[in-house]
Structure 1
């Protein structure tokens, strides 16, 4: 009987603490909040092996990457890609 009560306690504790875990911040959030993005990235600067275990760290890195691309390409995204049609000799009418 004690084992069943202990197992029930462990299961209940797991559900309770699992439900209390904080929701990771989004990439868009980190794009808009530079200080928090930098703090998260600095936290893992010395130990990048733990980086993959933290969704906040992954989102902060993705936000940093997107911001750098936007700065580099001036906001260009693949969705805004324009196609350039190069005429060939057969289309020019010779």
Structure 2
């Protein structure tokens, strides 16, 4: 069963922090798992959390610009974002 989520709300860092605060009763070794789709058709454990730059191309997808980005490659409207990388 997929989790219920508010329509139209994109997760930002303040909301993520509030959601994580609700989980403070769980043990530290509890896995963090990422859904592969909004419908919950697959799941992978998160293996890396990264801060990089992001530009939304649509409400559902965008482009990441990390340390490897070349000078002048990063659009002026890129802003900081938190990226969760799955194991697969």
Quickly name the TM-score band, shorter chain normalised: under 0.3
More RCO (CA 8 Å, sep 6+) = 2
- Taking structure 1 as the reference length, the TM-score comes to 0.26
- Structure with the greater alpha carbon radius of gyration: 1
- Taking structure 2 as the reference length, the TM-score comes to 0.27
